[in-house]
Chain A
Amino acid sequence: MKRALLCGCCLLFVALAACGREAKQGPFTVLLSVEANTLDPHFATATIEWSILMNMFDPLIERRGDMTLGPALAERWEVDETKKVWTFHLRKGVKFHNGEPFDAESVRYTFERMRDRKLKPRITVYRRIFLDRIEKVDSHTVKIHTKRPVATLPVWMVNAFMLPPKYYSSTPPKELLKKPVGTGPYKLVKWVKDDHVEMKANEGWWRGEPAIRKVIWRPVAEASARIGELETGGADVIMNISPDQSKSIIKSKEGLQFKGARGGRRIYLGVRTDHGVLGDVRVRRALNHAIDFEAIVKNVFLGHGSRMRSIVNAPNADPGMKAYAYDPGRAKTLLAEAGLKDTNGDGVLEAGGKPFEVKLEVPASRYLKGKEMAEFLAAYFRAVGVHVEVIPLEWSVFLARRRKKTLAPLYFHGFSSAFNEELDLGVLRPNLFANLTAWRNRGFIENYRRLGQTFDPAERRRISYRMQRIVREESPWVFLWNQYDFFGLSARTQWTPRPDERIYLPAIRLKEAKE
């Protein structure tokens, strides 16, 4: 709490200082809602860090704005018939910011550093792809050997940013987290912790120098302060604002833009199926029918968004699936079928003599309008006779309880997405630490195993559609929505935000200012 207050005061001063600074034709300024803790790609964990890093580094394979994969530092790649050896043909003539050339050794070094026992990086890519070894074929060809077939290997490459071997092996890790060097579109100028990150365009970028020359990333914790800065011309992109607090303000100002982008993060209520009647699928379906999510979208998000149809994101979602409809009558019928009755007439259903009371834990400020949404959901559940008590938790407390598996029987949570059907479905595998549903379905598990070994796209789609339907029928979640990301943009900014919450500067165009 005290820390938050302190940060608030600091930010106020920063904001005041910034007002003066922006009076003249200024750099492109992005206001973040949180601070980056590291700029070492092998220690990054937060979305915001990935956002900053992807502007300074390049991976072998990139995720494009439409969430499909495309070539970056690898011009092309193929997998052999054992499905365990991937060959990457690297782009030639690419240089790191410090002048080191990008070649096969950079790829080998990058993956070896990921599994350096002494360094203990946070990145998990090498484990996810079951990395065996990296073989340098020639200066611009590498083979990645995996211990077993991994169909999702190209997806994991997206966060494997290529590092210059000489610089990263000769610089102490403490300095590396502050001074990143990559091949990407921007070079770091300086990073003042708790204040700002400054970048300038990399004139030698292999895709050509980016249009925006100078960029400042600045954390401003309060949404209203971010909106204020956008209004006074101190910012070009502000992230993490909510429509009901900002849409009218931003719309009423000349030229400012309010943008909502359907994100990949799947927001849901986890149902711990090992807790009493929640193990009954009819009860879980009833909970799904009990809520009017469209009313929430209309009133809270001013019409942006819709209820989640499948736990798999577009474009891999089964297009034939429909979202659960709001049908309190059906919900009551299902609850009655499950043997829940209100015998004493207090408006709360009973199961085996005990009232159906259940707690719902929600991280207080982690998800857009999370606490409010939880309250609305609880009101809908009460309307069908399920007494739900909402308990807001600090994010750190929520994480600790998630780790210890002590969260309440209903918990408000969101999984980000890598926009791949297998990884999207994987959030329901029983041994995933963050999955507390305790839901085990033989069909789901067997299909998931097969999906991991299947490389044929058509067959993968068939399996994935089958699994998506199982999940909907079984409803280990109360499906909510794919969280929207809301941005405010200055008049000169032309940009369509990506679904993966990342801000990729080369995709932004500037309208020339009248001078």
Chain B
Amino acid sequence: MSVERNMPESALNTDDYPMMSDLELRWEKFRRSMMRAKPAMLGGVFLILLVVVSLSAPLIAPQDPGMVDVNLRLKPPVWVEGGSASYFLGTDALGRDVLSRLMYGGRVSIMVGLSSVVISGVIGIVLGLVSGFFGGKIDDLISGFSEIQLAFPFILLAITIMAVVGPGLLNIIVVLGISRWVAYGRVVRGQVISIREREFVEATHALGYPLYRILFMQILPNTLSPLIVIATFAVAGNIISESSLSFLGLGVPPSVVTWGGMLSEGREYLRGAWWMATFPGLAIMATVLSINLIGDWLRDYMDPRLGDDM
């Protein structure tokens, strides 16, 4: 495959980099494209920061996020009169440090966002592959089912399931996972249908390769680009959904710190203690915005009309 064909002239000229291998060239292309997309860069930096801060929360959080103290109740952020440097973003109605809780809350958001994408991805990919490759009755069944689920408002479905199974971190991951598989399933199915009659698939078939090998080694890699884009946006969607469900009291148990839960607790103090709801709200917004910016850029980068065939 030739690299030049896929690249705008100004971006990279192989003649300038005679020492580079194919892989290095690809990386260079990725890096340059990223450098040009300033918003995506910004989002990326924020996300890296978020991941680092969240993962190291137990080490760097200034206070214990669960430390309840009635005497420290509703302290404002440091720059407001009455604030204190040890409670940088103020304290909540139970006297807990908002900044530390934000750090710990980020862990849940990231975990829920990523894990549920993996679950819905796996379900969607498997069902999409099967549906697209075999067609016929199985396809009708799976497609019909996915249409039924699509017709059902997502948040209503999630609320119903959560109300039945009860709050819990694992529960919410599974619920978000199974409620969002349809997007993956449909894309994979569409790709598979367009690929399965191509010569290279027939060739592997003729060579007597087992079915799973054809599906996973030949067909799946060719559907990956759109999946990555979908998954990126789904992470953002899941973070919002987790926050919404926690806000409604249907997410994780109250003892687990989440941004949605913090938002919900802050709601009734909005007029007096604005910092309780504002900072988790900003955190959700910034995270989701960052992921979406990256998603936008990824979509352009991976657009088969403009670029590589992976």
Interface residues of A (CB under 8 A from B): 1-2, 223-224, 227, 244-245, 248-249, 292, 295-296, 299-300, 372, 375-376, 378-379, 392
Contact = CB atoms under 8 A, between A and B. Distances in A.
A376 B268 contact: no
Interface stretch (B10-18, B51-59, B70-78, B278-286): B70-78
A378 B68 contact: yes
B302 interface: no
Contacts of A392: 254
B70 A379 contact: yes
A391 B24 CA distance: 56
Given A1-B249, A2-B159, A376 B68 contact: yes
B227 interface: no
Interface string B275-302: 0000000000000000000000000000
Nearest to B67: A379
Contacts of A378: 68
B266 to A, nearest CB: 12
Nearest to B250: A1
A1 B270 contact: no
Interface of B: 67-71, 73-74, 93-94, 159, 163, 248-250, 254, 268-272
Contacts of B70: 292, 295-296, 299-300, 376, 379
Main secondary structure of the interface of B (DSSP, over half): loop
A372 B94 contact: yes
Contacts of B270: 224
Given A372-B93, A375-B94, A244 B74 contact: yes
A375 B271 contact: no
A224 B268 contact: yes
Given A245-B269, A379-B67, 17 more contacts: A1-B159, A1-B248, A1-B249, A2-B159, A244-B272, A245-B271, A249-B271, A295-B70, A296-B70, A299-B71, A299-B73, A372-B93, A372-B94, A375-B68, A376-B68, A376-B70, A392-B254
Contacts of B159: 1-2
Nearest to A249: B271
Contacts, number: 45
Contacts of A379: 67-70
A376 B93 CA distance: 10
Contacts of A244: 73-74, 93, 269, 272
5 contacts: A1-B250, A224-B268, A245-B268, A292-B70, A379-B69
B101 to A, nearest CB: 14
A239 B71 CA distance: 27
Contacts of B271: 224, 227, 245, 249
A11 B225 CA distance: 48
Contact of B272 (A2, A248, A372): A248
Main secondary structure of the interface of A (DSSP, over half): helix
Contacts of B74: 244
Contacts of A245: 268-269, 271-272
Nearest to B68: A379
A295 B72 CA distance: 10
A1 B68 contact: no
Nearest to B249: A1
Contact of A376 (B94, B250, B254): B94
B247 to A, nearest CB: 11
Contacts of A292: 70
A372 B94 CA distance: 7
A35 to B, nearest CB: 20
B249 to A, nearest CB: 7
A245 B266 CA distance: 11
B96 to A, nearest CB: 9
For the complex of A and B, the 9 pairs showing the least CB-CB separation, nearest first, are A379-B68, A376-B70, A299-B73, A299-B70, A295-B70, A375-B94, A375-B68, A296-B70, A295-B71
Contacts of A223: 268
Contacts of B269: 244-245
Q: Which of B70, B94, B249 has the most CB of A within 10 A?
A: B70
Contacts of B73: 244, 299-300
Contacts of A299: 70-71, 73
A387 to B, nearest CB: 13
Contacts of A2: 159
A375 B269 CA distance: 17
A109 B40 CA distance: 80
A129 to B, nearest CB: 43
A257 B155 CA distance: 42
A319 to B, nearest CB: 29
A244 B95 CA distance: 13
Nearest to A228: B271
Contacts of A224: 268, 270-271
Contacts of B248: 1
A453 to B, nearest CB: 45
A2 B94 CA distance: 27
Nearest to B269: A245
Q: Which of B93, B163, B249, B250 has the most CB of A within 10 A?
A: B93
A2 B158 CA distance: 13
Given A1-B159, A244-B74, A392-B254, A249 B268 contact: no
B272 A249 contact: yes
B135 to A, nearest CB: 40
Contacts of B250: 1
A223 B248 CA distance: 17
Nearest to B163: A1
A91 B170 CA distance: 68
Contacts of B254: 392
A375 B92 CA distance: 13
A223 B67 CA distance: 27
Contacts of A295: 70-71
Contacts of B94: 372, 375-376
A486 to B, nearest CB: 14
Q: Which of B71, B74, B159, B163 has the most CB of A within 10 A?
A: B71
